[in-house]
């Protein structure tokens, strides 16, 4: 006498096919998600530079010169002094900010990531680090 075979569950082949499909989706999706995250961080740095530009215009109107921090990472100093203590710039982010006041009528604000990826803005609202 034969016992009836249980018809519940999946075969090993079906499970293997599902694992392969999940692996393919992960291999294709991971670089796309990483790219979206990097683009989001860059957009946040660009927004920070725009905020610096606007505050620099106020600083020039009130003080008669542009605010400057010199070279190096001065993100927290900019938040404290230029943004009156508000955490406008992300101090824990991938980008660090600095403002170089070239003279009383010009400045260059930079957002630097890992010392290689640099975004800039100047007193004319022009982006680019040339």
In a domain, 2, yes or no: no
In a domain, 18, yes or no: yes
**For the chain, what is the domain count?**
1
pLDDT of res. 5: 64
- Residue-range definition of the domain harbouring residue 67: 12-122
- The pTM assigned to this predicted structure is 0.75
In a domain, 26, yes or no: yes
Is a pLDDT exceeding 70 seen at residue 1?
Answer: no
- pLDDT tens-digit series, residues 109-128: 999 887 677 899 999 988 87
In a domain, 23, yes or no: yes
Q: Where are the alpha helices (DSSP H) in the chain?
A: 12-63, 75-81
- Nearest 10 degrees: Cα torsion 99, 100, 104, 106: -90
Q: Which residues pair with 95 in a beta bridge?
A: 113
Distance CA 123, CA 99 (A): 11
pLDDT of res. 18: 95
Mean pLDDT to the nearest integer, 90-110: 88
- pLDDT tens-digit series, residues 67-90: 988 777 788 999 999 998 888 898
- pLDDT tens-digit series, residues 8-54: 788 999 999 999 999 999 998 888 888 888 888 889 999 999 999 99
Q: Please, which pLDDT band fits residue 6 given cuts at 50, 70 and 90?
A: low
In a domain, 3, yes or no: no
The tally of CA atoms less than 13 A away on the side-chain side of residue 51 is: 20
In a domain, 6, yes or no: no
């Amino acid at each position: 006498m034969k016992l009836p075979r249980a018809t519940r569950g999946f075969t090993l082949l079906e499970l293997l096919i599902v694992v392969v499909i999940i692996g393919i989706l992960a291999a294709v999706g991971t670089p796309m998600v990483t790219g979206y995250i990097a683009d989001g961080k860059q957009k946040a740095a660009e927004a920070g530079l725009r905020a610096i530009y606007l505050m620099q215009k106020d600083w020039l109107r009130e003080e008669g010169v542009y605010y400057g921090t010199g070279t190096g990472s001065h993100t927290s100093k900019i938040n404290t002094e230029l943004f009156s203590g508000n955490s406008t710039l992300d101090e824990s982010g991938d980008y660090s900010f600095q403002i170089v006041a070239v003279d009383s009528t010009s400045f260059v604000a930079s957002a630097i990531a890992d010392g290689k990826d640099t975004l800039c803005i100047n007193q004319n609202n022009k982006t680019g680090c040339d």
